[in-house]
Chain A
Amino acid sequence: QVQLRESGPGLVKPSQTLSLTCTVSGASIRGGNYYWSWIRHHPGEGLEWIGYIYYSGDTHYSPSLRSRVSISLDTSKNRFSLRLTSVTAADTATYYCARSYSGSSTFDYWGQGTLVTVSS
């Protein structure tokens, strides 16, 4: 059974960097054929796709966040990470990691999500 679990600080100060990690079990992120994505949910709004990383290290980001976001792989620990710089209150959200087949917008496995609040 594939499982994803997000971890990281629940509180980040404005202008600082948000860093989250997604640990994957039941599947290898080196296995190919999958995109590993980050998605967030702002309170009272819909879901927003942030970006993905492929097992090769190739990445693709949402144009609205591209200047501040980066996603990286740690294949030795079967996990991938999100960094979002210069955060503001608008980045307060529940952050999810999720898997989709490469080229697909269908996410077949998700983590439970982690709430990140941006506040001083």
Chain B
Amino acid sequence: QSALTQPASVSGSPGQSITISCTGTSSDIGHYNYVSWYQHHPGKAPKLIISAVNNRPSGVSNRFSGSKSGNTASLTISGLQAEDEADYYCGSYTTKELLAVFGGGTRLTVL
């Protein structure tokens, strides 16, 4: 069982927007502004797309954005494209004796 809770799947049509939630606790998401999001196409290396809740690394499309409220973080992808179809994972710093905790992953299907 993952430390952070994500929906197993979401879907949307090209051009639409979708939001993926990531729920933690006051020991991780609720305690720190260190939520990250990763995009993973199977067979490839996971890619960092959001750091520190809402910062995009250089080269990441501005269609990706992040936010946080209380113990829940969210990733929004606007203007869905076929290439966005992938698994998405959230991660967070934690007060526990771990460097990071992660979510179970969300499979995004672009219809």
Contacts and interface: CB of A to CB of B under 8 A. Distances in A.
B87 to A, nearest CB: 10
B36 A106 contact: yes
Given A49-B102, A105-B34, A111 B45 contact: yes
Nearest to A98: B46
A112 interface: yes
A4 interface: yes
Contacts of A63: 97-98
Interface residues of B, number: 31
Size class of A's contact patch? 20 to 34
Interface stretch (B13-21, B67-75, B76-84, B88-96): B88-96
A104 B104 CA distance: 20
A6 to B, nearest CB: 10
B48 interface: yes
Instruction: With a 10 A CB-CB cut-off, give which of B43, B98, B100, B105 has the most chain A CB atoms.
Output: B100
Instruction: With a 10 A CB-CB cut-off, give which of A37, A45, A106, A107 has the most chain B CB atoms.
Output: A106
B44 A105 contact: no
A60 B45 contact: no
A48 B102 CA distance: 7
Determine the main DSSP class of A at the interface with B.
strand
A46 interface: yes
B101 to A, nearest CB: 7
Interface string A14-54: 00000000000000000000010101000001111100100
Given A106-B51, A107-B38, A111-B45, A100 B99 contact: yes
Contact of A112 (B3, B38, B45, B104): B45
Interface string B1-34: 1111010000000000000000000000000001
List 9 tightest A-B contacts by C-beta distance, closest first: A46-B2, A47-B102, A105-B100, A46-B104, A105-B93, A110-B45, A106-B51, A110-B46, A106-B36
